[in-house]
Structure 1
Amino acid sequence: MWERLRDWVRERRERLDLFDETLVARQDNPLYLLGPLLYYFWMITVVTGVVLMIWYEPTTSGAYSSIERIQREVPLGWLIRGLHKYAADGVILTIILRIYRMYFLGEYKKPGELSWMLGFLGLILAMISGITGYLLIWNQRAFWAAKTVLTVPVYFDELPIIGPMGFGSMIAYIFLGGPAIGQATITRFYALHFGISLVLLILIEVFFQRTRRKRINMSLLPIVLFLVMLVVISYVLPAESGRRADPTRTPLPILSDWYFLALYQYVKYTPPLWAGLGPGLLITYGMLVPFLDRSKGRRPLERPFFFVVGVMALIYFLAFTTLILFNIAVIEREPFIIMNLTAVILILALIWELRYRRRQRAAADQPRASAAAAVGRAAGHG
């Protein structure tokens, strides 16, 4: 068993594609530059983050003031902070787009399973790094966004098996460092925000050293264009500081960075059990989809069920984000409709998948049946 697992890992490791896209020669199509762009944005995020550490003060009393000082007093501080923010957004965006490209094109199939799993894990780590960095601003929006996110693990206490053990509350307490968000929380988030980047940087450098691959496998033109784009966005839409965090005043609606908004709306929609179970199931599905999809085809319509799940995830992400941004959801009515609609769509998608596979098997059996009949006729004539 262990030998088979070792052989499986060795075979996938040789074809591991983290940043250097195999189709990178098609630089006229940005979808095939997502790997190099991911590394490029991440390097900008790391470098600017190290610079910001010089002036940042990770305390509840000094965090907000230090951010304001960076933004208004430090020479080019607004640019450094803007590059850090928008490059980090670029990291999340490129990972999401790359995952969707890999999903719909079936790139997670053999031998791409390990590339897919590491990419999906990278998205989770990037989102954790994002929310930990978001709190470091210590403004109203960041404070309440972090508080909302940290309620999600508590919902795991509603699960039948692990719930009585208080597993979810324990996770929340580890992140909080106490019963509520405070100095211990900001210390933990600061350490996590820095630690995740440091560990990933070391691992990725080891990967590059062992594989001898190029770090940014794209031409100079897109490198310059995307850097100029980040500078322009940082100037036109400078990173905001907002109002200092106030635990006694709850802003409505509670908003975070764009990639967490759909989760917030989902938590508002669902009862505690599903609020904890849903994200867990989604992460499990994402990590295991290379092994769940046993079809041979790579085209979307050759994998009907998985195609429908991907489209639904995209639609729900966009719809939930819109609903919470404009605060137009009707909590009393819409969750029931959405949950039932989701169940119906998944059942229909499963039926579509089963019927498609049945037709595929019938089409594969037909030549064999014809060949057997031909052999029988030939034997009869003989």
Structure 2
Amino acid sequence: MPQFIVDNAEITIKDGIWKIFNTTGRHTLSSFFTMVRGNGVVNYNPSFGEARQLPGDVLSVEYIESVVVGYDQNRRRWVLGLQVALKPDEKSRFIGLAQWPEGDNQQYALEGQTAGRALAEYMGRPLKLFGVKKPTAIDPRKTVTGPLEDHKRYDIDLASVMFKARKITIPLTLGDLSLTRTKNILTLRTPKEAAGNKGGEEAPAYTVCTFDIDAKLVKLVPPTGLLGSFFGPSGRAIKFDQIRNVEHRRIVSYDQSTEETSDGSMIDMSRRRYRFSVHLTLKDETVLLVRLEHVIDPRLTTSTLRAVQIGIGAGTHEIEEEMRRLKQYERESGSMDQKAETAENLAVLLAASIGVPLVKTSVGDLDDDG
């Protein structure tokens, strides 16, 4: 559960709920501002709303133009807030939510942009950056190291794995990826284009993996052909008793990107990248078998709520355009869910066949809690 300590407050993000609590004075046990992902409204204490000239204790995200994160040169602090306009002809104004301790600290910048990005995604609103030349980036080399980074880990015992496996049908296929069974041998085939190392990123080194249940042996075959012969690794065999567990790994990272607005500020257009992979864990190494990837365009995530909120008075073209984006977002989300489910089912079936526990790890995903 991500937690960010700011001046006199604490931000928590868990189970699709973004909250901020006071850490001083009265009422420190309940949040004074809460956003539930996709809910379409924000909830806050009446005193918070009154002090900021907001109505009652709830506000539709339709009145929120953007989530704002930036470095305030006058106060010399990183701040997080909302750009709000309660009436169509009203100029939007800034509503502050949190500020970090004084100083242009890189860690504060990262925390602010991480918390702001999550809030923007939950609201379906853009993230606006000011006093920032570009988003604060995480070292890209760290996005492929998996559990060597801060991560969540969930251990699933063999009995639970066997129970889950009985509910999964073989063959298991997704595009050119397939897991088939002939008698007591499972065969995993990975597309050739997915194998090998591309751009310095971790990728499967083998295109065919067989799991012989009787011989208790895994055989790994590298890509064939001229390039595979000269540059690919040699095949290898791994005994079942050398395998400690099967790991299902989920990594979420961002392809950093911004667009400059007419007022000189920046809109965060970072694409959210999901990687779902399956590994064999040995004593001194992990062997990557499969990696599936999906990228979501931020233009789709920020338009979904707008498509729902458009009223009867909107023009036909506007409605059609927003509905087109909504349908595209639904297709993209469905494709991502299918990849996530395929990777997890594959990990379960392999763990059950080998007779080892399953470990699920999650890196960089604010929403994942098992």
What is the TM-score normalised by the length of structure 2? Answer: 0.23
Q: Higher relative contact order at CA 8 Å, sep ≥6: structure 1 or structure 2?
A: 1
Q: Which has the higher strand share?
A: 2
Q: Which has the higher helix share?
A: 1
